[in-house]
Structure formats: C-alpha cells, structure tokens
Structure 1
Amino acid sequence: MNPRPPQLFQYRLSVPSHRLFPGGHRGLRTNNGQLFNRHEPLMAHPDPRRIDLRASVLDVSGTYKVRAYRQPSVFDVVVLADMSASMGQTGQTPQQTIMLDGIRSIAQSAFSYGDRFSFIGCGASTEKPWLLGNCRHLGRLQAFVRQWQQHRLTATSLCWQPALSHLPLQRSLVFILSDFHFNAAQLKTLLQALARHDVVPLVLWQAEDYLNLPNWGLVNYQDAESGSMRTLFMRPVLRQKILQAFAQRRQNLQQLCRSYGNEPLFLTDSFNPMQLQRYFLSKA
C-alpha cells in the first residue's frame, strides 16, 4: 500500500541567505531578483535594461546608474532525528509512522523551494548515524523511505554527538525530531552545538501516555529503552500527578529551548504540516 501524498508547508528563515545559487528565500547577494537593493554604476552591473534615468541625472559624477536587486537564494534543510527505542513505540499511531510523515513532508516542502534536504538519524554512541545527504530528488527520498519502513528502532541510549559532524557548515534550517525524553544537560549541549543554525524542535508525544488515561483501572507501562514492564493502579490523584508531570516537562522544554532562541512545537499523535505553517507565520 502506497503512503498518502505528503502535505507541504511554507517556511521562512530568520536571516537572509548568502548562498551563491538562486532559490526561494531572501538573499544577500546582488543579482537577478525582484527586491530592490541599491543603485550601482552601469560599469559594475552592465545591464542597460535597468538604467534608472532619474538616479543617473541626480548623480553628481555623471555616471549612469542601474537598479540592483537582491537575488533569492537557497538554504539547506536538515532533519536531525532521534532513533532510540522510545521513538519506536506503538500507540494510536505508531511513533515511527509519525516520524516518516514528518520526514516526507519536510523533504518535499524543501524540494518545492529548490532547497537541499538532509536526514541524520541518531541512535546509540556505537552506531553510525542514518544519513541521507544533500537530496534534491524525489527518487532518492523514496528509496530512503522504503529503507526506513523496514528498520526497527532499538537503540537503548541516545547520542547526538556523532551526527554533528555531518551538519552543513553554513547556516541551515534544522528540525530536531524527538520525544525529548532525555536529560536537560544533553539537550543543552545539543542546542549549543546548533547555535549557528535556525532550529525547530519538534516534540512528538503520544496522548495515551498522559492525556487518555482512565480515572480508575490498571494501566501497563513498558519502558521502551529497557523493556521492563510496570503496572499501575490508576486513580484520579495519580492521573493528575502524571498530567502535572507532563505539563512541567513541557514548560521546562519551552524554557530551555527559548533560552537559545528556539520555540519548540509540540505534536500529539500525528504530524500536522498546518501546525508548522502557523508556526512559521507566527515567527515571521
């Protein structure tokens, strides 16, 4: 069964791009474009079609002036994904399926701008990162998706460090795709390493973990990393404590991410591109 076509979203970077190649984002280079930048001497930009007669007459040096425009440029778009066992849990919608929806949506949104897409999957420190680098073609993405569908997430720990060397050197748009169920020190180190990039933390949570709990009854929990099982007798007081713990976790994540200039986006049970659309519109 073929997966449904992904929904696309529009995104915007916080600063103009200085990349050489033309694309769909604000750029700093002067070349072909529609956004007026400044007047330049005709000898610097020999294009008589853009001569500005008024500016030329007003120039005291008597040289012809042409209108110079800013060239729209490209960006690199990167998904930095958590591939620990907790991201492989099943629920109303399996977490790995949600991740796949996100990867396909982000990648094809990048293609629509002419941007390059890269995927870096992080597992245990002893594992090599999953890599899809500098992808511009749908065929490469589809082959990667087929491999992803056959892969089982089993890493019992998470190490981001091996992935950092694969990130672009120039400023890029980096999506962190994870449930963020790891310690604050590890997240702080990661955000420090990504400081030169535009970072969007995508927090994937399952409603059945905290929102859809019963007031009374037995609930089985399994630690995805260790595989250990625990049975809890759910009652209103315990349910409220779990809700408060998740609310506190959400607040802590927001505070830590915001301290590095990044606003986390919380996605529950699904990847919704329209949430990302509103996210970038609110930042603009």
Structure 2
Amino acid sequence: METKEILKRVKRIELKSKRKASNLFMGEYHSSFKGRGMIFSEVRPYQYGDDVRNIDWNKTARYNEPYVKVFEEERELTMYLLVDISASESFGTKKQIKMETIAEIAASLAFSATTYNDKVGLILYTDHIEKFIPPKKGKQHVLRIVREIITYEPKSKLTNLDQTLEQFMILARRKSNVFILSDFIDSSDYNRSLRVASKKHDITGLRIYDEKETNFPNIGLVNVQDQETGELRLIDTSSPETRKMYASYYYELDKRFHAIFKKNNSGSLSIQSDQDYVHPLLNYFKSHRF
C-alpha cells in the first residue's frame, strides 16, 4: 500500500471514529470505567457524615478538633487494544471486511480514552503477539495505532488467543481496561488464560462477524478455502443440510464465546461487520460498570 493511500485511509478512519467517539462514547466511557485507585487530595475539618476512618489523628490532636483526610479517584487509566490480525479477519461480503470494522472500533475506543488523558496500548496478534506498542497518551499516538492496524502484514495466518493472553500478562504489569477485537474463530482453549487475565484486568471481548458466516447463501457447488489453514473443500450450498451445518457452527462459536467470557466475569458483545457499531457499544457501556 502506497504512503498516500495509507494516509487517506488513516484520515478517513480518524474523522469517522472521532465523530462517533465524541457524539456517543465519551460520557459513557468515562462513567463505565473506574480509576485505578484513590489518591490523597487534602485535609479539612470534619463534617457531618464523613467517614470516621479517614480522621487525621495527628492534626486532630494538634488543633483539638477533628480533621479528616480527603481522597479522590485517580482517573488516569490504561487501555489495551488486543487486535486479531489473522487471515480470517480479511473476510467480508458487503461494504467492508471484518478488519476494517475492527480498525474503526479500535480507533473510536482509543480516541475516547485519549480525551480523558488515558493511555492506550496496542497488541496485534495471530497465534502469538506480532506487534506490541506500549501505552502512551495523545492524538498522534492514536493515529500511529490506527496506521499499524491497517498496514501491518502478519507473519502468521493462524489464531491463538490462549497463547496471546499468556504473553500479554507478562507485558501488562498494571491493571488495565482490555478490549479484545476478533472474530473469535479460534481453536485454542482460551478459557484458562482468560480466567487468569480477568483476575487482574477488566476485559471485554468484541466479536466482529460477517452476515454470510451465519447465513450461507445458496449458490450451488462452490470451492471454499479456510483462510487460516489454506484447506480447500467443495461444498454444495444448495443443500439445506449443508447451510444448516454452517449456520450451526457459527451459532455454537458465538455461544461459546459469550459463555467463556461470562464465566470469567468479563464482558462480551457480538457486532456484525456491515452494521453500525455505535449503538451496540453504547448500550453495552450503559449496562456495564467496570
């Protein structure tokens, strides 16, 4: 991809995602996620209703009247975007492929975070972490993240979230808000690694899927290739049983995805790649408080 085309794509995603972030996400993002703890603010005279556990006994003894320590939430947060760049993300049958929708959602989340001066980090993964960008603040950092998502050429076609989460736990030492953006077409058993990661981090899985993955069209005999393994298979799409089998596979995939995340006290949301993602995300933020 030429530099000029890259800049045009980054600018287009920036304009689209910033508008959506400013219109919808920012207030909900701010209220949905807690700060990392409480920090000392000031000492003031005791007022009715104050928590007696916060009494400053040294100052109280010095002035012979009760004083309390006041704390406030430390608002600065760290967000990680774990983006699946395996081969299956290049699939799409309508206005855009899954990877383009993932890039837009990731950018919207990142711009929401940077508005509140939060740090954003990026991990691009396949069957292992291929690219790690440490968390930083600012618009230019977010634009770099967008550029990496749309231009990075993966070395592997496969997916392994289990391995990725194990590596992520080594890299992310402090509590963070983590969004995993993927189609979750993943044969690995990521239940255990998600359980470990969710004990330290607030995790949300965003499953991006294409309509034709759940509603296979009747187009007769067709060669179908698995984008990750390269396996070719001739299937008869005119067969109701065949279409039902594929629909059942993706239904079970989605069911497994939500079940694993729920079991590990993590949020989950499925979004169709050609539909507006704003309202599903907004409703998700309204119903979840981390």
* Other structure's SS at 1:71 match: strand
**Aligned pair 1:29/2:39, yes or no?**
yes
More helix by proportion, 1 or 2? 2
Structure 1: stretches of 5+ with no match in the other structure: 19-27, 46-55
* Other structure's SS at 1:117 match: strand
**1:87-128 C-alpha deviation (Å, 9 max, x unpaired):** 233432112211211221111011122211001112344xx6
Q: Which residue of structure 1 lines up, in the alignment, with residue 46 of structure 2?
A: none
Range with bigger deviation, 91-100 or 228-237: 228-237
Question: Any conservation in 2 of the 1:85–1:154 contact (CA below 8 Å)?
Answer: no
Q: Which residue of structure 1 lines up, in the alignment, with residue 86 of structure 2?
A: 84
Deviation of 1:144 (Å): 3.6
Question: Any conservation in 2 of the 1:121–1:163 contact (CA below 8 Å)?
Answer: no
User: Normalising to structure 1: TM-score of the pair?
Assistant: 0.77
Structure 1 residues 37 and 283: CA distance shift in structure 2, 3 A: farther
Of residues 17, 23, 38 in structure 1, which corresponds to 2:36? Answer: 17
Structure 1 residues 259 and 41: CA distance shift in structure 2, 3 A: closer
Q: Which residue of structure 2 lines up, in the alignment, with residue 119 of structure 1?
A: 122
Q: Which residue of structure 1 lines up, in the alignment, with residue 221 of structure 2?
A: 218
Structure 1 residues 133 and 181: CA distance shift in structure 2, 3 A: same
Task: Give me the identity figure in percent.
Answer: 19
Written as runs of structure 1 = structure 2, the 5 A alignment for 1:1-284 is 1=8, 2-3=11-12, 4-6=15-17, 7-8=20-21, 9=25, 10-11=28-29, 12=31, 17-18=36-37, 28-31=38-41, 38=51, 62-65=64-67, 68-92=70-94, 93-125=96-128, 129-158=130-159, 159-160=163-164, 161-167=166-172, 169-183=173-187, 185=189, 187-195=190-198, 196-211=200-215, 213-215=216-218, 217-234=220-237, 235-270=239-274, 272-284=277-289
* Other structure's SS at 2:255 match: helix
Deviation of 1:184 (Å): 5.1
Deviation of 1:216 (Å): 5.5
* Other structure's SS at 2:16 match: coil
Range with bigger deviation, 158-167 or 195-204: 158-167
Structure 1 residues 268 and 139: CA distance shift in structure 2, 3 A: same
For 1:170, the aligned partner's letter is R
Partner Cα separation in structure 1 for residue 153 and residue 91 of structure 2: 10
**1:206-236 C-alpha deviation (Å, 9 max, x unpaired):** 112222x224623442211122332321122
* Other structure's SS at 1:63 match: coil
* Other structure's SS at 1:129 match: strand
User: Normalising to structure 2: TM-score of the pair?
Assistant: 0.76
Range with bigger deviation, 95-104 or 151-160: 151-160
Deviation of 1:69 (Å): 4.6
Structure 1 residues 241 and 272: CA distance shift in structure 2, 3 A: same
Partner Cα separation in structure 1 for residue 186 and residue 50 of structure 2: 46
RMSD of aligned residue pairs (Cα, Å) = 2.9
Alignment size in residue pairs:
254
**1:51-107 C-alpha deviation (Å, 9 max, x unpaired):** xxxxx9xx9x94143573523421111111222222233432112211211221111
Range with bigger deviation, 143-152 or 259-268: 143-152
